[in-house]
Structure 1
Amino acid sequence: MPVDRKKMKQRQADSARGGELTKFTEGREELIYLHGPCEPDDQEDLTKGLPWVEVWMHYGLGADIKNAVCLDKDRNPILVHPRVQEWMKERRDPPVVDLDAGCPVCQKIPDMTKEESSDRVAQKRYLWGITSIGSRRRRTNDFDLERYPKPALWAGGITVHNGFLDAFSDDDVTNMDKALYVIVGKEGSGKRGTKYKIEKDSATIRDPAKLPKPLRAAIREAMKGDCNLFRFVASNVKSTDEIRAALAGVAIAEDEQAEPEAEETPEGGRDYQWEKGTPKPKMCFAEPDDIADDDECAACDFKWACADLCDVAVPGEEPEPEPEPEPEPEPEPPKNETKADRRARKNRAEAAKKKAGNHPSGLTKEELGQDGDDDEAKLNAELDQVEGELKQESKRARGGRR
């Protein structure tokens, strides 16, 4: 009998409301506030007064169940915690779990190959509520503070968990009136290549932080719902039959409204254009501080779009030469006029001005002798008028001497 796809979707929706898991970013240091216990009235010895929860998880169970809480109640006592049980009952479609039957995944591990069991074997995870206050790329930089810090959940291994615990060696770092922040740095990637460095924030050791009222309210509200550790555990509990079906590879019945397929990673190339608001094709895309090797950038399929966003030359390609400026056209001399003609015209104008003195036309010596900037016809007309007036004056002068 195929699994009910509609019910699976509902379970997935319930799981999504159980709080977001955050991850630390490679190559950055993050300034973290650690949440206090999310259930002040918790009286269970397993979790009373503790700001974290231990939970054993299985990963990679199949396309429909990517992860699930281990159903071995002896290994995973958090399963029978009263608050986890209450949260499970509040789910719209509570999972049917047969704790007496044990964990289907753990029972199947001996029959799996080493490759098949590598992700599916139970892994202990430490669940914390955290709020990122800010981040930076280099230790020498100041932290870029978050404008609206968002409470979230973090689940991880023993290294970061122990680093968080070390922060409590002197004081209760979760005190919202005197909070001490923790700095988490991450380098590398992959199971074996990732390294974390956790240390106390020296600034808040000297001067503890007093969380602003809006942030306090946001954290308290989140701890009651999306960032409640027990709720997250409950939202990731899958029914015994669901897990068995996933391990057996049972076909899933498709309903009428099939889920859209996930978008594939773009191929890149010269014509690729990244749209703002969509996932980046690579972690280092358009992040100059993340670039460690120019050769790696030169071989990248997204280098054209990346260089365009960073406003730099495309790595590994010769920059296109800038076009040479077009020479300005030389001013053309007046038509049918040689250089000798222009010099003769100027000499005539200077001679006319010298003989005419303060001529009624008002033309100055410079205006009469300018080198072709004015309209040629106008200037010639003015010169002709001057020469004509000079001739008339010369005739009158000769007649007076007789």
Structure 2
Amino acid sequence: MMAKILCRAAFCLSLVFTSVAAAAPVTGDGGPVHWLTDDGTLLVYNLPAAVKTESGYVVGWTDSKGLLTVTEFDQNFEPLAGTKLRQYKKQDDHSAPALHVIQSGPLKGRILAATSHHRSQMFVYLSKSGRIEDGFDQVAKLDQRNTTYPRLVEFSDGYLRLLYRGHPDKNKFDFGILSSNVIRYRSGSIEIGAREDLLMTDGPGYVYPAMPRFDPASGGYAIAWGRLPRKEGGNIPNAWYDVFISRFDRENQPIAATRLDPAPMRALGFGAEKRVLGMLSPKKDGRSRLLLQIPKSRSGPLRNSEIYVATVDESGKTDYTLVTETVHPYYPLSAVIDPRDDAILASVAGRDGRIRIDRFMQNDSGGYASTGAITCSDKPLLPQAVIDGFLIAEEVEYYKAVRDFRTALFAVNMDHRGDC
């Protein structure tokens, strides 16, 4: 590999890029891999992880030492400038920032960033200009101390919201809550409104939300989310991980909620948890579609899961379609959606023992099939984000725990596909 050093605004950023060693990821037909960093991780629940700007793309990550970095790349994913966002005392994979480019109003073009640890305060930052090299200012710190999973959402008229998961009791695992704060423009900067609680588990447990999807019919949005109950004392019971779709209007008032029917999954023999990865485009008949990951087994450092698309109507009647079996390190999720065409990118085991990221498309019969490998490696790979035609993924050196990991980030053009 080759290293390039960026030094801007008293901050030096080392990025690994271009030439790829034999054990590093390669594209299926030899297309270019663009290395972003040799020490950095994203989190699929902190969204968006990458955003498009006038000059190219901006990606934020956390490294194995707790440093948060935001970096700008051109339209070919060559680095332009990088800046330090925050230095935590300890590393935590949940601290990877969510990013958003403000689309309207006096702050148009400037970038918001939000970050927290597993259970800590949420910090909100605003770029000083539209140029990453000018750095960020901290503009807010939420009073609630038990937050994680930030999402930044902007409606078409510039109405901004920060959504996140929280726990009301800082001393124990209590009711899981999905909360939201309005973000307003005030006197040349940002003001965070009061917390509004959208969803709450009906007992001790966790909420696992996907990225909200706008609903043009109501002017609001829909959120797919999972509810994982916990026993007193923190042990996860042998219970079903319920999945719901909740709809809200623009002012966060609830419109409707639908619980997915778990009976078909029970018939297939699956129990325990189902993790919601995202929402696909609805069917023409109005039924919603969710991407789910079902953990299956663990062997050594890797874990096997199955990826399903759940199609659900307003009554909760649900059909489950298997996409693929996937392989990944313990804990991280291993599939993402390409919003351009609802393709699913998932890490799978190749016949030669290498790990691949394949692109899966729905065929005429309603099933899913791989259209080929986008990239592959001798090490585990995790798809993390899709922006335009690029997949951002991780090559995993090790991932022993949420505070003990080492991964490298790279981007690859998804038009380069073939046999790895």
- TM-score tier by shorter-chain length is under 0.3
Larger radius of gyration: 1
Question: Which of the pair has the greater relative contact order for Cα pairs under 8 Å at 6+ separation?
Answer: 1
TM-score w.r.t. the length of structure 2 is 0.20
- Between Structure 1 and Structure 2, the one with more helix by share is 1
TM-score w.r.t. the length of structure 1 is 0.21
